[in-house]
Chain A
Amino acid sequence: MSDELKSDLPQPSDAGPTASRSVVPIWIIVLTLLLLFLGAVYFDHHSGWFDKQVYAPYTSADELASYQPKSGAASMLTHGKAVYETYCGLCHGSDGLGKPGQAPPLAGSEWVAKDITSLARIPLAGLNGPIQVQGRDWNLSMAPMGASLSDADLSAVLTCIRESWGNKNGAVSVDEMKAARAAISGNAPSPADLAKMTPVERGHVVFQKYGCFQCHGQDAKGGVANPNAKTAEQVPSLIYVADGYTKDELKSFIMRGERTIPVLHPDQPPPPHFMPSWGNVISTNELSDLADYLFSLKPKGDNLGF
């Protein structure tokens, strides 16, 4: 009995299994690519490009839009309103009345009634520091919310702001927006101007050019809020960097950045602002000028005695 059982068992072979590697068969790669392609085509035909407003039988947002009324000014206002809600409404309010401590009102604001270039400068370049709106003082910081928007989007949103909530300041055409953008960017110094400047002056231009002031404040004096940052919930001022860094240390810090900002309360969301790494963005000469500028900021006669 036991002999019979034994004979049924597979006999151990001399040549055991061995590990080896083989190339992924080409047909698997081709099949995967084909499936990916078919999947993409299927989504293109059926997904409405994942637009939350598109349901069968409609297949695209464009198709839906084609059913909307098409008068020029009205559609610009509709589009502008949509852009406004995405980029401006959170702080300035859907009613354009602004929010205390966050943003001044746009309804009835004398800044909205100004020329188009002055108005366009605000979303394009941001706005920092004291400003008076309808007789009230505001001292806040607004990022260049519109810098990434197209002329079409910006002209629509400015039209919306100038023609809503009782404002009657007239529409902004795409061409006017284009001209305003050109006028604003034309303010940057020319290479000839730059060559005449001292390194410190050039460094200040660099500080403005890359928007350092958005977080570190005008003239790098700090004060911009960064909730839950260990640094007293604000982005640090830079006026004392000459105390704490050599120029080389400072330059390498700017190039490296600091992605993870230490938090005050570990159970709360991380601070919204962090120091981007500028190594791939800023040129060597600009970096050197920037360091000279930042070193020049240290208040005179401020000596700690060590």
Chain B
Amino acid sequence: MTTITKFTTLFLGVAALTLTAGLARAEDQLDAETKARVDRFEKGPATIDVSKYPDGIKDNYEVFSTKCTQCHKLSRPINCDYALPDEWSRYVKRMMRKPGSGIDSADGKKIYEFLTYDSSVRKKAMLDDKLAKLTSDEKAAAEAKIKEVHDKYDNK
């Protein structure tokens, strides 16, 4: 009697293990997707040529490259598929709100301005593509935000 109970337990255990392994694999695959995406970004160039950018933006590039490399490679944001001001605003805030990020709101704003400016120049094609997919209101709002950054830094 005991033998049968324990043997059944053993089999149930094996079945449960198999199931857990299956679930873990499914989770791994979800993780793997994100990881593959990040890996793809990180394989790209690790610096941006800012020699033609306005001085203020060059300064902001310094903030960007010091602060963001505390936790990840600079090639990740440089080559990622964000380009719209809202995408950058969200991404920068998400990072700066992590406890211990060491990014205050002034730094956060500088990084956001740099990324928005840079996307409107270096990622122009991707940005235009994304703008074209927005509703006209959203598009106007996004363009206003890009213009705001250019007005602040261009020709100064």
Binds A, one of B2-10, B47-55, B118-126: B2-10
- CB of B156 within 8 Å of the partner chain: no
Q: Are A41 and B7 in contact (CB under 8 A)?
A: yes
Contact B90–A306 (Cβ < 8 Å) = no
- Taking a contact as CB atoms under 8 Å apart, the answer to whether B2 and A236 are in contact is no
Task: Name the prevailing secondary structure of the A interface residues.
Answer: loop
Query: Is A265 in the interface zone, CB < 8 Å from B?
Result: no
In the assembled complex, B137 has its CB within 8 A of some CB on chain A: no
Q: B57: shortest Cβ distance to chain A, in Å? A: 15
Contact A277 B27 (CB under 8 A): yes
Closest Cβ of chain A to B22, distance in Å, is 11
> When the two chains form the complex, which single residue of B23, B31, B97, B99 contacts A234, counting CB atoms closer than 8 Å?
B99
With CB as the reference atom, state the residue of chain A lying closest to B10. A40
Give A285 to B42 CA distance when docked, in angstroms.
36
Is the beta-carbon distance between A232 and B99 smaller than 8 angstroms? yes
> Assuming A262-B71, A306-B113, is B94 touching A244 (CB within 8 A)?
yes
Nearest chain A CB to B99's CB is how many angstroms away? Answer: 4
Chain A 230-271: CB-based contact to B (< 8 A → 1; otherwise 0): 111110110010011110010000001101101000000000
Does chain A have a CB within 8 A of B89?
yes
Instruction: Kindly state whether residue A44 has any CB partner on chain B within 8 Å.
Output: yes
Which of A37, A44, A222, A240 has its CB near the most chain B CB atoms (within 10 A)? A44
Q: Which residues of A contact B93 (CB under 8 A)?
A: 240, 243-244, 304
Query: Does chain B have a CB within 8 A of A53?
Result: no
B30 within 8 A of A: yes
Please measure, in the bound complex, the distance between the C-alpha atom of A128 and the C-alpha atom of B89, giving whole angstroms.
Answer: 34
**Is A100 part of the binding interface, using a Cβ–Cβ cutoff of 8 Å?**
no
Looking across the interface, which residue of chain A has its beta carbon closest to that of B8? Answer: A40
Q: B21-59: contact bitstring with A at CB < 8 Å (1 yes, 0 no)?
A: 001000100110010000000000000000000000000
Query: Contact check: which of A41, A245, A256 meets B90 at CB < 8 Å?
Result: A245
Q: Is the CB of A304 within 8 A of B71?
A: no
Instruction: Tell me if A306 and B99 are in contact (CB < 8 A).
Output: no
Which chain B residues lie closer than 8 Å to A245 at the CB level?
90, 94
Count CB-based A-B contacts (< 8 Å).
68
Closest to B92 in A: A306
B117 at the interface (CB under 8 A from A): no
Give B134 Cβ to nearest chain A Cβ, in Å: 14
Say yes or no: A45-B3 contact (C-beta < 8 A), given A240-B93, A304-B109: yes
Instruction: Chain A residues near B109: list those with CB within 8 A.
Output: 304-306
- With A and B bound together, what is the CA distance between A45 and B2 in angstroms? 9
A222 to B109, CA, bound (A): 24
Q: Chain B 97-118 against A: per-residue CB contact (8 Å), 1 yes, 0 no?
A: 1111000010011001100000
Closest CB of chain A to B76's CB: distance in Å? 13
* A232 pairs with B90, CB closer than 8 A: no
Q: Assuming A230-B71, A240-B97, A244-B90, is B31 touching A259 (CB within 8 A)?
A: yes
Q: Which residues of the other chain, B, contact A165 by a CB distance below 8 angstroms? A: none
User: Nearest-CB distance from A242 to chain B (Å)?
Assistant: 9
- Kindly state whether residue A280 has any CB partner on chain B within 8 Å: yes
Is there contact, CB below 8 Å, between A277 and B30?
A: yes
- Known contacts A245-B94, A257-B27; is A222 also within 8 Å of B108 by CB? no
Known: A40-B6, A234-B99. 17 other contacts (CB 8 A): A41-B3, A44-B6, A44-B7, A60-B2, A236-B99, A243-B90, A243-B97, A244-B90, A256-B30, A256-B31, A256-B34, A262-B71, A277-B30, A304-B105, A305-B109, A306-B108, A306-B109
* Sample (16) of A-B pairs whose CB atoms are under 8 Å apart: A44-B3, A44-B7, A45-B3, A60-B2, A231-B100, A243-B93, A243-B97, A244-B97, A245-B90, A249-B90, A256-B31, A257-B27, A259-B27, A259-B31, A260-B31, A279-B30
Q: Point out residues on B near A: beta carbons under 8 Å.
A: 2-3, 6-7, 10, 23, 27, 30-31, 34, 71, 89-95, 97-100, 105, 108-109, 112-113
